[in-house]
Amino acid sequence: MHGLFCLKSLKRALRGSSRTPSSLLIIRPCLSLDEYQKLVFNAFEVEADIASMKDALEITIGEKEEAFVKHEILETKLDVISSKLNIALVDAELLKEELVRMDIKTNRWFKYNGKEA
């Protein structure tokens, strides 16, 4: 009879002749002791499952936040490395230009002094 309500309790509650105040219309479901114990056991299982899921969710959220922070750190490091690489490329271009100028000066010097480079 799980889920059905006791007819006597329902009638008393509706009439207001039950022992509870009329503002608290309490309708007691008709359950055998065995059904009640199963229901209580299932409620504890559900509460345990919810607590376990809550713990797992908190762990997952923590891991996600940690991954986000690591991502930010790695992104910052990547920006620094990228800046250093750009500076190195500019320096390399400047050195190439300087080598070309030095080569031109060296060739001019050898030409001016009548020697071969």
Q: Are 15 and 49 members of one domain?
A: no
**Of residues 3, 54, 48, 68, the one with CA closest to residue 29:** 3
Q: Are 67 and 98 members of one domain?
A: yes
- Residue 1 inside a domain? The answer is yes
Q: Are 50 and 105 members of one domain?
A: yes
| CA 69 to mean position of chain CA atoms | 10
- Residue 117 inside a domain? The answer is no
Q: What is the rounded distance in angstroms from the CA atom of residue 22 to the CA atom of residue 43?
A: 29
Q: Give φ, ψ of 59 to 5 degrees.
A: -65, -45
pLDDT of residue 38: 86
Contact 62, 44 (CB under 8 A): no
Measure the CA dihedral 29/32/38/43, to 10°: 20
Q: Are 62 and 101 members of one domain?
A: yes
List the single range of 22-26, 59-63, 75-79, 91-95 with lowest mean pLDDT. Answer: 22-26
Please state, for a pLDDT cut of 90, what percent of the chain lies above it: 50
Whether 17 shows a pLDDT value over 90: the answer reads no
Bigger pLDDT: 32 vs 47: 47
pLDDT of residue 112: 83
List the single range of 9-18, 30-39, 74-83 with lowest mean pLDDT. Answer: 9-18
Q: Are 24 and 36 members of one domain?
A: no
Instruction: Give residue 74's domain range.
Output: 31-112
Q: Are 56 and 102 members of one domain?
A: yes
Q: What is the rounded distance in angstroms from the CA atom of residue 31 to the CA atom of residue 37?
A: 9
Q: Are 15 and 72 members of one domain?
A: no
Regarding pTM above 0.75, the answer is no
